[in-house]
Structure 1
Amino acid sequence: MELGLVYSQISFETKELMRAATEEGILLAKINDNELQLSLGENAAHFPDCILMRSISHSHSLYVSEYMEYLQKTAINSAATIRICGDKALCSMHLAKAGIPSPKTMLSFSSQMAQSAMDSLSYPCVIKPVIGSWGRLVHKINDSDAARAVLEYKEHLSNPMHKVYYTQQYIEKPGRDIRAFVCGNEIAAAIYRTSENGDFRTNHHLGSCVSPCPISNELSEICSKVSSLFGGEQILGIDLIESPEGLLVVEVNSTPEFAGCQKASGIDIAKKIVQHAAKMVKN
């Protein structure tokens, strides 16, 4: 059996996936997305029947997965999953349509309407770029003056996607959030991510402390609903917060890092990913 691994750089995750494939006796074709040249029509590029997507770039992941489907082969994750999860607005729409609980979210296309949206959400609230990761350019807005300052700053950013204003209700949480790592329809592991510097963002990339999180019935049920939303065969990092009303899904990641999750849980997540991909090939 041969799998492919599309990556942008040699990270902890790519090294672990290579190691896991070797231990499972699976031949792994290593494909650097920066060296790809994808021909359309005749002389199409050769790929294994199934590839694991670990590109850092959202656009690289999207186009390579689309190309795999053009070749009638399998990409994990699928192009549809990458497209939806890579855009917070699209992801929130799909979560809302499926009735999956998440913070109240508003989408605007001018700074004036974004200001109005934040006023209606009440302060504090949160503004995020629709495309981005690692907590970059995510701001907690404490009052209308701060909202005006951030919106003025965004108005001068060159990327037109910054003119799509994604604002969200701020949820008081116990200084932490939950990252559930899902393979197919199963939670492989879950961790708490706790901020140690007072930052409301709890991304592991920003230095949060990670610890094991028990998999409750509530967590299992909500993650199963999210997984089913994407077909039940994808690899997802689901971020949730504990609110007085219960767990809320904040984001769904289609290329989730798992260094912190694997370390805190003691579970070999890389091996679970490889085993899941091998199972999909056999089926």
Structure 2
Amino acid sequence: MILGIVHNRIAWEEKEIIEAAKRKNVTVKLFDSRNMEVDVTGDKCDYGVDVFLQRSISYTKGLYFTLVLEAMGYRVVNSYKCQEVCGDKLKTTIALKQAGLPLPKTRLALSCDAAMKALEKIGYPSVIKPLIGSWGRLVAILNDPSSAKAILETRETLGDSIHKIYYLQEYVNHNSRDLRVFVVGDEVVAAMYRYTIPGDWRSNATIGGRTEACKVTDEIEDMALRAAKATFSEIAGVDLLEGDGVLLLNEVNHNPGFQHLAAVTKVDIAGKIIDYLKENT
């Protein structure tokens, strides 16, 4: 098999995937999305690969290059449909709700005034998130109407109109941790707890949060697999919250990092990815 990896930087995960491919006799071709140009109206470009793995950090570039590749007849993991849903928190929420999965209370507002009314219905504290974004950027906790109004008014000054679409959620008291569950195909390959750091309520390993291996229960496995299926994900990082004794779906990441997860669980996640691609190409 010849695997094409679309990227815009070679991070730890990409290095691991390349090494796993070598061990499993898979040839790898690298495609830096920053340097790609393609004739959309011409004949199919012969890239000489059997399947593409989309690992571009840039959501928009990865999304549109995947669209072009699929239009040419190439198989891309994850697909354009998956990226389109997972890259937008509102689309993800709708897909998960339609699948009957439990979610935090979530409201959408299209103006600052409407957002304040929505927050009254959700209650404080609440959380505001950008529709598109990762690593906890532009995510803020709204403790009361005064702080909410200040943050909303700041968002109104941002240039991109998407920041003026307000995605608001209840704050789930999650005991200073959440769960990251890694799905490859129909298998949950690993899971970990991610703890908050002092002075920050976000539990994200990329900002320094402590991690700990998590036993995969039947409930965790069922929710993660259903979430991946609902979002058309073949490879996914599914985030769960523990709220008052019940598990809630938070997000589904279509291009998940796994350095911290591999370290804490000792699972060869890169090898699992290569095995899946070989078996399903």
Shorter-chain TM-score bucket reads: over 0.9
Query: 1:2 corresponds to which residue?
Result: 2
- Is this contact kept in 2: 1:103–1:171, CA < 8 A? yes
SS at structure 2 position matched to 1:171: coil
1:21 aligns with 2:21: yes
Contact 1:5 1:31 in 2 (8 A): yes
For 1:255, the equivalent position in structure 2 comes to 255
Structure-2 residue corresponding to 1:159? 160
Q: Which amino acid aligns with 2:263?
A: K
Give the corresponding residue for 2:105: 104
Q: CA deviation at 1:174?
A: 1.2
Q: Which residue of 2 is the match for residue 113 of structure 1?
A: 114
Among all aligned residue pairs of Structure 1 and Structure 2, give the percentage whose two residues are the same amino acid. Answer: 35
Q: What secondary structure sits across from 2:131 in the alignment?
A: coil
User: 1:43 offset after TM fit, Å?
Assistant: 4.2
Name the structure 1 match of 2:238.
Answer: 238
CA distance in 1, matches of 2:134, 2:32: 21
Task: Specify the alignment match of 1:211 in structure 2.
Answer: 212
Partner in structure 2 of residue 41 of structure 1? 41
TM-score by length of 1: 0.96
Deviation, 1:44, is 3.5
Cα deviation, 1:115-159, whole Å, max 9, x if unaligned, reads 111111000000000000000010011000010000010000011
Q: Gapped runs of 5+ residues in structure 1?
A: none
Counterpart amino acid of 1:163?
K
Q: How many residues align?
A: 280
**Alignment gaps of 5+ in structure 2:** none
Code of the aligned partner of 1:238: V
1:276 is aligned to 2:281: no
Give the structure 2 partner of residue 74 of structure 1.
75
User: Does structure 1 retain, via aligned residues, the 8 Å contact 2:237–2:252?
Assistant: yes
SS in 2 for 1:127: strand
Question: How far apart are 1:41 and its partner, in Å?
Answer: 2.4
Correspondence list, 1:84-233, <5 A: 84-231=85-232
Backbone CA RMSD of aligned residues = 1.1
Preserved CA contact (<8 Å) 1:38 1:44: no
Cα distance in structure 2, aligned partners of 1:148 and 1:29? 49
Cα separation, 1, equivalents of 2:175 and 2:38:
47
Question: Which has the higher mean CA deviation after the structures are superposed, 19-28 or 190-199?
Answer: 190-199
How far off its partner does 1:197 sit? 1.4
| Cα deviations by residue, 1:36-76 (Å, 9 ceiling, x for unpaired) | 01111224433313110100111111112111210111100
d(CA) in 1 for partners of 2:266, 2:199: 27
